[in-house]
Amino acid sequence: MSDSRRDGPKALSGLLPEELFSCLGLDKKFRAKQIFKWIADGARDFSAMTNLPLPLRESLSRGIPLFSTSLLATLQDPDGTVKLQIGLDDGSAVETVLLTDSSGRKTACVSCQVGCPMGCAFCQTGHIGYARNLEAGEIVEQFFRLEDSVGRLDNIVFMGMGEPMLNLEAIRRSIAILTHPEGRQLSRRRITVSTAGITSGIRSLADEGPDVRLAVSLTTADPELRSSLMPVNRANPLPELKKAIAYFSEKTGRRVTLEAALMGGVNTDEAHARQIADFARGLNVHVNLIAWNPVETLPFTSPGNAETRNFTRRLEALGLNVTLRMRRGEKIGGACGQLGKSVQCGIAPQDPEEDPWSDGKEDQKD
């Protein structure tokens, strides 16, 4: 086994069992399955893999590491939210967040890019710029590092730093690793991929899988306002986004979640409620609302409780199925839209409760 990492993987966390077998030059395939299972079960060095022969453990320890990332900091909000700052081997960093609902279910919100190129006006991450896509191992390690910190997780959402549809192949590999029957065995019904509205990615997910939940950050169905708040709307206008969502539901049989961050006096009046209802008409969707989480450098305010309740009631009166999500993690910069301020390492600026990711009802399809 070569000690060189120049042309090989950074770490073993991003490899499937058959790839571990080849990469490590093992003579027995079941050894690769053992290593894969150990990584999923919490081993962070080969010395912990007690069912491997000692000479093999010692030999493997001199080669490719299990993980390429490091845990830089752990922050905990009084509401129970946990945020990890995770260092990457190139000196940059990302953040990943644990959310716990009222039933005790634990959801990992993981990042897929260093920064984000989408430039959404209300999102902290979109204002720190973009450096690169994460590799599958760097994504998987966020999930495992959260489990190291807080115990076994129930759900994962690709909704942290970055746009998942711009790194879909790494997302697919991450899901293949986390759901593999020889490893973590996470159920696909517990996985959500979120997008700001990249229609080609939505269609690709429908056509090529994996078969997971989809959430779309809609925020507003006013085309001019959405283009102002979310530049993605210019290349992926609302009529095309609606067609892509309909295609996804028809192809997969799954309901899609429409996410809306509510900003005081911006997207919470009756006209905006009617526009969302018009957009949702004919679609198999559920609407998740959350009051915008403050970012001190951005020119928005959170709506008051009455403003939020009134908007929720307007949508319900228009026949929509709506959940109002609780804000969590605000005190540690771990709330939706707040990630990234403390991990800007080398990124150049660019222009451009209940289970918080569902309505508490299980899809009919696994």
SS3 content of the chain, % helix, strand, coil (to 5): 35, 15, 45
pLDDT higher than threshold 60 for residue 85: yes
Asked if 17 contacts 32 with a C-beta cutoff of 8 angstroms, the reply is yes
Query: What is the per-residue pLDDT across 197-220, written as a single tens digit (0 to 9) for each?
Result: 999 999 999 999 999 999 999 999
Order the strands of the 155-158 sheet from edge to edge.
70-76, 82-87, 93-100, 106-110, 155-158, 191-195, 213-217, 256-262, 285-291, 322-324
- Digit-coded pLDDT (tens) for 40-61: 999 999 999 999 999 999 999 9
Percent of the chain whose pLDDT exceeds 90: 79
Higher pLDDT, 119 or 331: 119
Which are the catalytic amino acids?
Answer: 95, 336
At 242, the pLDDT band (50, 70, 90 cuts) reads very high
Is the N-terminal amide bond of 210 cis, ω within 30° of 0? yes
CA distances from 200 to 51, 73, 157, 207, 278 (A): 45, 36, 20, 10, 22
What is the predicted pLDDT for the residue at 133? 97
Q: What is the pLDDT of residue 41?
A: 97
For residue 120, which of 55, 195, 45, 26 has the smallest C-alpha distance? 195
State residue 350's pLDDT score: 36
Q: What is the pLDDT of residue 363?
A: 41
User: What tokens appear for 279 in the block?
Assistant: 């957009």
Rounded-to-integer distance, Cα 263 and Cα 216, Å: 17
Position 334 pLDDT exceeds 60:
no
Please report the domains of the chain, with CATH numbers, ordered by start residue. 12-61 (1.10.150), 70-343 (3.20.20.70)
Task: Give residue for tokens 């290349």.
Answer: 235
Determine how many CB atoms are found less than 10 A away from the CB of residue 75: 17
Q: 96 - beta bridge partners?
A: 84
